[in-house]
Chain A
Amino acid sequence: MIGRMSAIAGIGATEFSKDSGRSELRLATEAVRAALDDAGLRPGDVSGLVTFTMDSNAEIAVARELGMGELSFLSRIGYGGGAACAVVQQAVLAVTAGLADVVVCYRALNERSGRRFGQAFASPDVDSGWHHPMGLATPGAMVAMVAQRYLHDYGASTDDFGRVTVAARRHAATNPYAWFHGRPITLDEHRASRWITEPLRLLDCCQESDGAVALVVTSLARARDLARPPAVIAAAAQGSGPDQYVMTSYYRDDVAALPEMGVVARQLWGQSGYGPEDVRTAVLYDHFTPYVLMQLEELGFCGRGEARHLIAGGGIELGGRLPVNPHGGQLGEAYIHGMNGIAEAVRQVRGTAVNQVPGDGPVLVTAGTGVPTSGLILAAA
C-alpha cells in the first residue's frame, strides 16, 4: 500500500492572472523554484519530474532552467485536469518504489492569454468526431448535456448550481491570492449572468487563468526533516469508469453520474481508512458547478441526487457542514487545472490557509471531472 508513505513537503506558485506576460516555461520555472524554496530543498535535490500531457513544458526544459542534475523519474498523465491528483500519485509511486527521492509535480499554463480551453476548436481525435461536428464543441456544452439530465433526474434547479458559485466567490473574497478577491456575488447575480450553454450560465463556469503551481513530493521520513510540516499523502487514486469518454460519457446507462469519481472514492477511503464523515474540508474540482454537486454524491458526502440539500443554506460554505474549496476554487481563485486546489489542501493541513477550516481531520482533493480523474487525501503527520 502507498498510503502514508510519502508527503507533500513544499508548494509553490506564481501569481494568478489573466495575462502573465511571460512564457509558460518561465511560469513553470518560477513555481518549481518557489516549491523547492518552500520545502527547503535545492534544484540539485530533485530526482523526478511529473506533469500533465497537456503541459507545454518538457521536464528536461524545466530541469535545465533550474540547473537540476541527473533525473531518474519522468512521467506525464493525460486527460486534462483529470491528471491533477494523478501526477502526485505518480510521484508517490516513484518515491515509495525507491525510483526517486524528491519528485516535483508542476503545471504551468497561459490559459487566458494563450490557448483558451473554452473555445471551439477542430480536433483530429476520433471520439470528438461524434460531438464537435454536431455543434457540441466546447467543454461548457459537453457538461451542460450532463447537467440538463441531472436537473431532470433529480429535480434540482439552476439555483442549486448557482449556490456553488456563491460559496466559491464568498471564499475567494477573503483570499488575497484569488482573482476574485473582494468580489463576492449573490444568487441573483448568478441568475442574471448570461447563458453560455443552457442550463449553464457564465457564472457556472470557472475562470480562465494564467499561472503555475508546483508541488514537492518526498518520503514521509525525509519530509519530517524538511522546512515545513509534512502534508501526509494518506491516499492517492486514479479512476476511469466503464465506457469512459473525455467529457462525453453519454453512452452508459446513467448520464447524470460520475462513476470514474466513484472508482477514485472507493480507493481513497480504502487506502486511508477514512470515511466521508472524517473529512474536514474538501477541495473539489470546479470547472463547472454541476460537477461539484455530482462529486459530493459520488464521494459519499450525501446520497445520489441529494447534493442540493447539502449545499442549501450554506452547507458547503465556511462554517457549514462541509466547507468546499475554502480558497475559492477555480471559480474564485484561479484555474490552474486543479493544481492550485492541491496547494490549498496542503495549506489546510499545515494550518496556514487564509480561510483556515478548524479541526485536525483530513483534507480531500479531487481532479478534473467528466474525464478519467484522480484524488488525494492529505492529513497531518
Chain B
Amino acid sequence: MKISAIVTLKKDVLDPQGKVVSQTLRNMGYDNIINVRQGKYFEIELNEINKEKAKKKVEEICKNLLTNIVIEDYTINLK
C-alpha cells in the first residue's frame, strides 16, 4: 500500500523559504499571491493491506522520524 505524508512548518513558525518564494512570485508579476508555505512530501510504500493498520504505522513514522513535532505538522493521505 502506498501512503503519502506531507510535512510542513507549523502555522506560527517562520518559514523563510516560503516567504522568499512568495516574494519572488510577486516580483514575477503574480500579484494575487497571498502567502506560500514550503513543505516536504513523502511517499511511503508499506507491506500492509489493512488501511487502518497502515495509517497507524505511518503516523508512528511521522512522529518518530519525519517530523520534528516542536515546529512541524504532518498530514497523511491514503491512496
Specify whether A and B are partners. no
